[in-house]
Structure 1
Amino acid sequence: MPRFLRPLTRTVMYTRWLHLLAAAVFAFVCGAVYPGLSAPSVRDWALIYLVPLPLLVLAAMVPGTRRAEGLQARLTLFPGGHARVAGDGVEAGVSVAPSASWRDRGRTAVWLVLRLLLGLSVALVSGQLMAVALELAGGATGFPTATVSAVPLPTAGWWCAPLVPVVLLFLGYVVEGAGRVMARAAVWLLGPSAAERVAALEERTERLLERTRIARELHDSIGHALTVAVVQAGAARAAGDAVFTDRALGAIEETGRAALEELERVLSVLREAERPVSARPTLRDAERLLDAARASGATVQVTVDGPLETLPGPVSREGYRILQEGLTNVLRHCGAVPVQVTLSVGAGSLCLEVRNDLPTGVAPGAAGTGSGLRGVRERAALLGGRARTGRTGDEWQVHVELPVP
């Protein structure tokens, strides 16, 4: 097929034509009321163009008008499932939200006026060109039709036949050009307002933050469970003691069950399940972390200063994850070594510290990716706190301070 004919084969050209003609219908209805459509003069045609405009401006003041026009524009002005050529997502630039400001109403009014003026013009041109095509076809066959177009035609004859496709092709390109103008105008006049763009950016940011938080949750909870299971299994095999092995298997079972619950909770969030999701653990549940570390062979001493139950939910939940990551690093990189955990609730702050002895030549994180310690710092920063991790003498320290409102 010749390239210059391809636009005329796209279904979207005809849906755009329909979009323009629908606006012309409103103008003709208003014109039938005043000044009338019986032999209209040039002045009458000017009034047909102008009379509907105040009504359109009033309609644009209704918030729902913008939504209705946006839906129509998306459906008829852009390639989609109804077109042979798939769309490129441009229709997403047309908002379907109601008008939320006077600026939105003003843009909608301009859109309605443009649609009526261009639609009425396309309707008149379409009628005239189709009338010319019919007259030429009648002249070519020797049966001329009554003159209904405003274009004067010479005497009929065989030469009229080649002009019929030329006139129809010209009509197609007029419709194609007007449709492209309306599509561009729709993106500009019916596009998202500044407030809608800001809201969309905020929603996207929230989704990205939620994905980051879920990734961090999985890293902390599942990583901790796997670390405890590996350490327990290795210790049980090395010990060769039935009693120790039974205790290790019990710890592995309990840690695995907790990890499965946590995984199910996170997956429920990802699936946006309607059923309630179990609450995230807090520092009041820290005893199970300490028991799992002790069951792995580590000697854990805990100092608690202040009421943990008074901590706000976000601080207590993030504190639990930070403690979990600290103990996981100890078991993963240092093994069964003495660990000192300090939880201090003071005036306006929570101080959490995990200190452990360093075996000779071993530094936590040396063989890892550092994502766990980075997650600790990120959690502290999100709450307005600070975290310090690193070697102090012969010990490794994770020291976190979180503000408590």
Structure 2
Amino acid sequence: MRFALLGAGVGTLTLFSLHGQGGVRSGLPLPALVAIAAVTGVAAWYARRSWWPLAVVGAVAYAWLVLWPPLLVATYFAGRSLRGRGHLAAYVGGSGVAIGLSVAVGQVHGGTYAIVTGAFGNTLVMALAMIGLPLALGLWTRARREVLAAARERAERLEHEQVMRAEQARAQERARIAREMHDVVAHRVSLIVLHAGALEVRAADEETARAAALIGGIGREALTNLRDVLGVLRSPPSPGQAGDLDRLRPPPTLDDLDRLLDQSRALGIAVTRHDEGEIRPVETTVERTAYRVVQEALTNVHKHAGDVGTDVRLRYGPDALEVEVRNDAPGAAREELPGAGWGLVGLRERVELLGGTLRTSAEDGGGFLVRARIPG
């Protein structure tokens, strides 16, 4: 579009110049003037592909008719496009030849042509206007464009390096966390499994053996889950390695909820499950989050309340799944198990990521309530 406008502008200026408005008036008939203006306009429009035709038309038109618009525009494109001093010197020399020919042609025509082209001062001014100024403007435009391109490339390179450094720092931190988890957590859980196995073998009664077997099973499951997590931490997945995650144990969903409740019952907690509403399939992420809500709530019951009655309620609504875990008040003061205190915080973040809400509150009778509403 802009080159079409450029062509129209050059053609119009050419026609005005040939009529003596801003140039030397030509004695050619009007159809010839219109044809010359059309040729210069087309050459200017074609400059989007190559500016050499415009330069040739400009040199011929100036030498013949002292026609300045096409030569001026061609010189600007020369400054923008030519590389190397040799090419620039060749173009300036060619333009100088065109100006010299205009002097000779002016002497032949006589009159206004001779006055405009024959005087040294006029020739010098025309040379500066037709060659010097547009060439300098073209060179400045090209230099500015190159500086901006270099600055943009440097900014992109710095951004890429910053991203790479951040990725490297994340990878190092993931590797450090994986080492700590392996050296501390995995080692301690392995000891628990080993001692539970020894207790199961040496147990004097069947109830103790069953409890030891349950502890060993939970410990082995924890080791399996920990090994999966360590694998993800040490080898962060990339788009081409999506299949590696498929080999990991899938995260638990509501189908695994009964097994979780049975483990709590085996530890002495009277857990009762209630399903309300029309049971329907929900998204996998919703099921996983609901499972984690129940898991964290039961873990807190083990830590803070002990063997108390607990109700787990799943309520299926038309647009959301509500999970509610309510436990009775503990019968007596007991020593609480150590904890970091981040369980419910992380659980709330997990629920809110899905657009849900998590509320926790103490009951009047001394119990505790965990309620989550998860859209889906």
Q: TM-score, normalised by structure 1?
A: 0.45
Q: Which has the higher contact order (CA 8 A, sep 6+)?
A: 1
Which is richer in helix? 2
> Which of these two proteins has the greater Rg computed from alpha carbons?
2
